[in-house]
Amino acid sequence: MLKEAESPYRTIRVSAEPSGFGAEIVGPDLARPLSKDQLAEVKAAWARHAVVAFPDQPLTLDELEAFTLQIGAFGHDPFIAPMPGHPNVLELRREPDEKATNFGAGWHSDWSFQEQPPAATLLRSEVVPPVGGDTLFCDCARAYEALSEVMKTMLAPLRAVHSATRAYGVKGVFARETEKRSLQIIVSPEADKSLTHPLVRTHPVTGRKALFISPVYTTGIAGMTEKESQAILGFLFQHMIQEPFIYRHKWREKMLLMWDNRCTMHFAEGGYDGHLRLMHRTTVAGDRPA
């Protein structure tokens, strides 16, 4: 059950989950430029709650793009063809008769394999199926804070290896896919490249530390053997998706959701075969994890 946030806001109303992870924001009309004060409060609420929903926002694609730019510059979305005429918008469409696995069905932080992964992802619902389709979020900051001091000390100097190879590589999941899907996936050798980021990153706004790894895009730990890496990562992945750290988002039509990739990972549930689901997505550029 949502509750009104304790911190007062003058231009918006914020109702937060009991844990503080996840909130709904009412008041702003995202189809129009926000005032300086209102934008500052939206960003403050986003920083505090990491995942924020704006209900009843019947935005055009141009308006979605305009609001995204109020949050920050567009991020780069690789391996998926954008919408014609809207190079920064991805249309996540799944037709009623599609048999392919729903897109995003694996825990991940968007594009963490980039040198500067996106700070934010914005996803707006156009058609919501009557069943299924929830999006689950993990609070990677609280998951980190729940670890023992000994574990935190061990993790502090480690760098995680990130790559898109498992999903978009030439031998990845989408390269082996046989079912047709509406979303145009671009399999590429570029996806087989890898880089490293701190396994624990510090949020540039809040200063909180968070685990910055995911089962989809984290392939190992620099300097460790595969068995050593998987032992540590396997423990952390199971730890992170415990119920106390999870927020389950239930969609309504014309809702915009914005989440912070720097301190969360997410998972898109299916369960809506036989129904159309249509969403539009943008990303906001981020900085190099530190």
By annotation, the residues acting in catalysis are 108, 110, 266, 281
Say which residues have a Cβ less than 8 Å from residue 111's Cβ, sequence separation at least 6.
75, 76, 77, 78, 117, 118, 164, 261, 283
Beta strand pairing call for 159-163 and 256-260? unpaired
CA angle 104, 269, 218 (to 5 degrees): 40
Q: How many CB atoms lie within 10 A of CB 276?
A: 16
Q: How far, CA to CA in Å, does 259 sit from each of 97, 232, 276?
A: 29, 26, 24
What is the C-alpha to C-alpha distance for residues 265 and 137, in angstroms, rounded to an integer? 6
Tell me the three state secondary structure of residue 211: strand
Report the length, in residues, of the chain: 290
Q: What is the 3-state secondary structure (H, E, C) of 140-176?
A: HHHHHHCCCHHHHHHHCCCEEEEECHHHHCCCCCCCC
Output the six-digit token pair for 221. Answer: 């730990």
Taking Cα atoms as reference points, which of 119, 81, 107 lies closest to residue 217? 107
What is the C-alpha to C-alpha distance for residues 109 and 121, in angstroms, rounded to an integer? 10
